C-alpha cells in the first residue's frame, strides 16, 4: 500500500513454522503469538501454579519456629501455637491488601508496578530486587527442603542431596519451558494430592487428639539447652515469629501473575488468592498445634512433618509414605511459583530498561525462556554453595518478600490517597492503572496502611533477629542489585538519547544494485545505514521482522517520516522468530536474481563503548552474517554506529 507521504509499505506474514529440532521434542511444538489467549489458566490450575510456594511453606514454617524456641528447651514449645496465631493474623491482613492490589492492577506486576506508579522509580527497583532475590531463594529453599523430606524417609540419599536438588531444579525448568498451561496441568495433580494427604493427616491427628488417643512422638533426639540461652525472652519470641513468617512467602505471587488467568482475570486471581490463604492458614495452625501436642522436636535427621505423620499413622506405613511423598513433591513444586513469576517480573523490569532487553522476548512456547533459564542457573549455584541445607538458606529467605510487601502496601495506600483527592468524573491514566474517584477510599487506604505498618515491623524484626545468621547478605545484596539495575538503565538512556531523531533535521536524501536493509527500529543508526544503502543503489528495500503489531505500527509511522519514500516490507512473524523470516525473504529474492546481479544485505550494528554492554543487545548482524556466509551472490555489510 502507499500512503500520503509516498512511502510504500508492504505487509507479509511468514506462514512456514520453525523447523523441527531437538528443542521441539524437548519442550513441544512452537506456538504462534495468536495462541497466547489460549494459554491462560483457570482458578484450579492457577492454585497449582501460583500457590504451591505458599502452601509448601506449611511443611517447614512450624519447624523453623520450633528450631528457635528449642534454644530455651521443650518448655518453650508451648509458645509455638500463639506465635502461629499471630502469623495467621498477619496473613489475613496481607491477603486483604493484595486482593485490593489484584483488582487495582489487573495487568499484574504486583509490588513492582504498585511501587513504580505510586512511590517512584527507586522504591520500585528495590521491590524488584527484593522479589527477584526472593524468587531465586524460593527455588533453592523449596527444592532443598523437598530433598530433606526424601532424606528423612531414605537416609541413604543424604550424601547425594546436592546432586539430587540440582537435577530437580533442571527438571522443573524443563517443564516450565513447555508453557504455563502445560506446567500447570503437570503440577495440578501433585498439588491436590498434597492437600488431600495433609488434610487427612491433620484430620486424623485432631480426631485422635480429641479422643486422647494420640501418643507423644518417639525416637527423637534430645534438645540440648545452653545455660546462657535457657530463658524465654522477648527477643527469642520475636526471633521465632520472624522464622515462622516464612509461611507467608508466595502470597504475592498471584498478584504478579494476573495475566496468566482466564477472563475475568482479576476476579479469578482474587478468588484463587483467597482460597490459597484460607488453606494455608488452616494447615499452618493445625500442623503447629499437632506438632506441639505430640512433642515433635526439630532435627536435621527427621523433619517435624515426618515425626507428625508417623505418630498420627502409628509408624512408617502406606499413609505415612503418602504424606511424605506428597510433602516432598509440593516442596519441590514450590519452585514452580518462582518459575512462573520470576520471568514475568524480570520482563517487566527489562521493558522499563533496568534489565537486559532480551528478557522481554518470549520463547517458542510463549514463555519468557531467558528468564526461566537465568533463574535455574542462579538457584543451582546457591544450592551448591549452601550444600542444599534448608537451615543455612532460611535466614536469607523471606526478608526480601516482606520488604516487597511493605512497599506494595505503602504504594497502595498512596494510590487510595490520590484517588480520594480526585474530583468525581476525573480520570488519571498511569502506566499500570487508571485512577478514578471511589467512595470508601478511606477504609481501603487504612487497610493498606495497616498492612504496610505490620509488614514493615516484621521486616525490621527479621533484619535484626536474623542479621548474624545471614540476613546481612540480603541486606547488602539488595542495594547492589539496585545499583546494577540503574547502571543498565543509564546505558539504555544514553543510547536512546544519542540515537534520538529529535532535532535531527530532515530525512536523508542520498542517491543504484539491489539492497536489502534489515532494521529493528527507526533511529539515528538506522538512518546512517539507510544513507549508506542508498549510496549503493536506488533499489533499496527496508525489511523489518514484526513480532509485536503495536511496535510494528509505531515503526511504520516513523519510517513514513524518516524513510524518505524507501520501500518498507514488514514480515509478520507469528512464532516470534527473528532471523528465519528474514532468511526466507532473502532466499526468495535471491531465487529471482538476474545474471550478474548482486544482492547486498545492509545491517545496522551498534558497537558499545564498553565490552560488557554487548550482553545487553541482540547480535542480529553476527547471526545473519553466519547464516548467509556461504550464500553465493549475497554480500553482507555491517554499518556500525556508536554513541559519543
pLDDT (0 to 100) of residue 510: 41
pLDDT (0 to 100) of residue 309: 93
Which value, to the nearest 10 degrees, does the dihedral of the CA atoms of residues 355, 470, 111, 413 take?
Answer: -140
pLDDT (0 to 100) of residue 508: 61
Strand pairing class (539-546; 514-518): parallel
353: three-class secondary structure by DSSP: coil
Please list the ranges in the chain whose pLDDT falls under 70.
Answer: 1-5, 15-16, 22-23, 36-38, 221-230, 300, 391, 394-395, 397, 506-512, 618, 620, 643-644
pLDDT (0 to 100) of residue 275: 94
Cα dist from 153 to 47, 171, 296, whole Å = 28, 22, 16
Domains of the chain: 9-14+503-641 (3.40.50), 31-489 (1.20.1740.10)
Long-range contact pairs involving 506-510 (C-beta distance under 8 Å, separation at least 24): 507/561, 507/562, 507/563, 507/564, 508/534, 508/564, 509/564, 510/534, 510/535
pLDDT (0 to 100) of residue 67: 87
pLDDT (0 to 100) of residue 222: 57
**How does pLDDT run across 517-536, given as a tens digit for each residue?**
999 889 999 999 999 999 98
- Report the C-alpha gap between 621 and 644 in whole angstroms: 21
**How does pLDDT run across 459-501, given as a tens digit for each residue?**
888 888 778 877 788 888 899 999 999 999 999 999 998 888 8
HSE at residue 516, side-chain half, CA atoms within 13 A, is 23
Answer for the pair 197, 427: CB distance below 8 angstroms, yes or no.
no
Q: Model's pTM, two decimal places?
A: 0.81
**How does pLDDT run across 216-253, given as a tens digit for each residue?**
888 776 554 444 445 778 888 888 888 888 888 888 88
Q: Which helix (H) or strand (E) holds 392?
A: helix 390-393
Cα dist from 36 to 50, 487, 568, whole Å = 19, 33, 28
Amino acid at each position: 500500500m502507499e500512503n500520503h507521504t509516498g512511502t510504500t509499505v508492504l505487509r507479509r506474514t511468514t506462514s512456514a513454522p520453525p523447523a523441527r529440532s531437538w528443542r521441539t521434542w524437548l519442550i513441544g511444538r512452537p506456538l504462534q503469538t495468536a495462541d497466547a489467549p489460549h494459554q491462560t489458566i483457570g482458578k484450579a490450575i492457577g492454585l497449582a501454579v501460583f500457590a504451591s510456594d505458599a502452601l509448601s511453606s506449611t511443611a517447614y514454617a512450624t519447624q523453623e519456629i520450633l528450631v528457635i524456641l528449642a534454644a530455651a528447651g521443650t518448655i518453650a514449645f508451648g509458645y509455638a501455637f500463639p506465635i502461629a496465631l499471630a502469623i495467621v493474623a498477619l496473613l489475613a491482613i496481607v491477603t486483604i491488601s493484595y486482593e485490593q492490589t489484584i483488582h487495582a492492577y489487573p495487568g499484574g506486576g504486583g509490588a513492582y508496578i504498585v511501587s513504580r506508579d505510586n512511590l517512584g522509580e527507586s522504591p520500585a527497583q528495590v521491590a524488584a530486587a527484593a522479589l527477584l532475590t526472593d524468587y531465586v531463594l524460593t527455588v533453592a529453599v523449596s527444592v532443598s527442603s523437598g530433598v530433606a523430606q526424601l532424606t528423612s524417609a531414605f537416609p541413604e540419599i543424604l550424601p547425594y542431596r546436592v546432586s539430587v536438588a540440582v537435577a530437580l531444579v533442571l527438571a522443573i525448568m524443563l517443564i516450565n519451558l513447555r508453557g504455563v498451561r502445560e506446567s500447570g496441568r503437570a503440577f495440578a495433580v501433585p498439588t491436590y494430592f498434597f492437600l488431600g494427604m495433609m488434610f487427612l493427616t491433620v484430620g486424623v491427628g485432631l480426631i485422635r487428639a480429641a479422643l486422647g488417643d494420640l501418643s507423644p512422638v518417639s525416637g527423637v533426639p534430645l534438645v540440648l539447652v545452653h545455660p546462657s540461652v535457657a530463658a524465654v525472652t522477648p527477643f527469642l519470641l520475636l526471633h521465632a515469629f520472624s522464622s515462622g513468617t516464612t509461611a507467608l512467602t508466595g502470597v504475592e505471587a498471584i498478584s504478579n501473575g494476573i495475566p496468566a488467568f482466564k477472563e475475568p482475570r482479576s476476579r479469578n486471581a482474587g478468588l484463587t488468592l483467597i482460597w490459597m490463604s484460607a488453606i494455608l492458614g488452616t494447615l499452618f495452625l493445625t500442623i503447629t498445634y499437632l506438632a506441639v501436642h505430640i512433642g515433635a522436636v526439630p532435627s536435621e535427621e527427621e523433619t517435624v512433618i515426618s515425626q507428625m505423620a508417623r505418630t498420627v499413622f502409628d509408624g512408617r506405613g502406606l499413609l505415612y509414605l503418602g504424606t511424605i511423598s506428597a510433602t516432598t513433591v509440593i516442596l519441590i513444586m514450590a519452585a514452580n511459583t518462582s518459575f512462573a513469576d520470576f520471568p514475568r517480573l524480570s520482563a517487566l523490569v527489562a521493558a522499563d530498561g533496568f534489565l537486559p532487553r532480551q528478557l522481554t522476548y518470549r520463547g517458542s512456547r510463549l514463555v519468557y525462556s531467558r528468564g526461566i533459564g537465568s533463574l535455574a542457573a542462579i538457584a543451582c549455584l546457591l544450592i551448591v554453595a549452601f550444600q542444599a541445607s534448608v537451615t543455612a538458606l532460611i535466614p536469607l529467605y523471606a526478608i526480601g518478600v516482606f520488604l516487597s510487601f511493605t512497599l506494595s502496601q505503602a504504594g497502595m495506600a498512596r494510590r487510595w490517597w490520590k484517588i480520594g483527592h480526585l474530583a468525581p468524573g476525573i480520570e488519571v491514566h498511569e502506566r499500570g492503572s487508571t485512577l478514578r474517584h471511589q467512595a470508601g477510599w478511606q477504609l481501603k487506604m487504612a487497610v493498606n496502611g495497616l498492612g504496610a505498618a505490620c509488614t514493615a515491623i516484621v521486616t525490621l524484626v527479621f533484619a535484626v533477629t536474623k542479621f548474624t545468621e545471614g540476613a546481612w547478605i540480603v541486606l547488602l545484596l539488595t542495594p547492589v542489585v539496585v545499583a546494577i539495575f540503574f547502571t543498565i538503565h543509564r546505558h539504555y538512556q544514553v543510547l536512546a538519547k544519542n540515537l534520538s531523531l529529535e532535532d535531527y533535521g530532515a530525512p536523508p536524501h542520498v542517491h543504484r544494485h539491489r539492497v536489502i536493509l534489515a532494521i529493528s527500529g527507526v533511529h539515528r543508526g538506522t538512518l546512517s545505514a539507510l544513507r549508506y544503502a542508498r549510496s549503493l543503489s536506488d533499489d533499496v528495500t527496508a525489511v523489518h521482522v514484526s513480532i509485536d503489531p503495536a511496535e510494528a505500527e509505531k515503526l511504520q509511522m516513523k519510517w513514513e517520516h524518516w524513510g524518505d519514500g524507501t520501500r518498507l516490507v514488514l514480515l509478520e512473524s507469528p512464532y516470534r522468530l527473528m532471523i528465519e523470516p528474514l532468511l526466507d525473504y532473502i532466499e526468495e529474492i535471491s531465487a529471482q536474481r538476474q545474471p550478474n546481479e548482486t544482492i547486498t544485505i545492509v545491517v545496522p550494528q551498534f558497537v558499545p563503548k564498553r565490552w560488557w554492554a554487548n550482553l545487553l543487545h541482540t547480535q542480529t548482524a553476527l547471526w545473519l552474517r553466519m547464516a548467509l556466509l556461504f550464500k553465493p551472490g549475497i554480500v553482507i555489510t555491517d554499518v556500525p554506529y556508536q554513541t559519543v
